Copies of this chain bind each other. A is one copy, B any other.
Amino acid sequence: MKQKVNIPACNDCVSDMSGLFRHLNNEQLTRLNFEKSCQFYHRGDHVFHENNKATGCYCVNSGILKLYKTGIEGKEQIILFAKRGDIIGYRSVIGAEPFCTTARVHEDATLCFIPSEVLLQLIQESHAFSLAMLKLACKELGEANSFITDIAQKTVKERLAEIILYLRTSFGTDNEGFIKIVLTREEMANIVGTATESVIRQLSEFKSDGLIELKGRKIKVLQIKPLERYSNLA
């Protein structure tokens, strides 16, 4: 499943990542590069499981990860998709708790594993780094609170419109205009917090209204404005 790989650009990658690591000095960067380990993961691989001990955090060098919590009767609630530059699992490491989400590979990925001790030591040593982590956590917290309001107050249609636009800006579009992340209907339902069938019906409504185009699992947004109207107010 997993295999060690050489990642030539690892040094660059690290300094690249979400700006987090550019707060480290050369010595620290060198140490980080030495201590971390990079692995290639295939789609479907588990990176970590909720309730397992958090032995470290992961940086996404390439590919996409899916983070979700397991809810009622095993139904996944997707918390986020992590892509190049994102760091995941740090929350549990810092809180010294077991992972509260499960991470699986959504698109073949290269990940760097940073052991807890290493991350914690860097936080200890580097003020700038720890401040950057703090900002990151605060940002995510704000987003989580917004999402709570959304999911509590909006209808499925509104949330779905919102998620489509979010995925579009977050992952971009290919040269044909399709959003560059491919999800099953069930996965979309598990983001929005609804049933698979509801997503399907809603998608085909958007389609017949000419707002989106569907090609298998790929989605192309044809009219942004109406979707924005749905997602914001209505």
Q: Enumerate chain A interface residues (CB-CB to B < 8 A).
A: 69, 71-72, 75, 77, 79, 90-92, 94-95, 97, 100-101, 123-124, 127, 130-131, 133-135, 137-142, 144-154, 192-193, 233
Contacts and interface: CB of A to CB of B under 8 A. Distances in A.
Nearest to A190: B152
B193 A138 contact: no
Contacts of A94: 134-135, 138
Interface centre among A77, A79, A94, A138 (most CB of B within 10 A): A138
Nearest to A155: B72
Given A95-B138, A95-B139, A151-B152, A69 B145 contact: yes
Nearest to A68: B149
Contacts of A145: 69, 79, 100-101, 144
Contacts of A133: 134
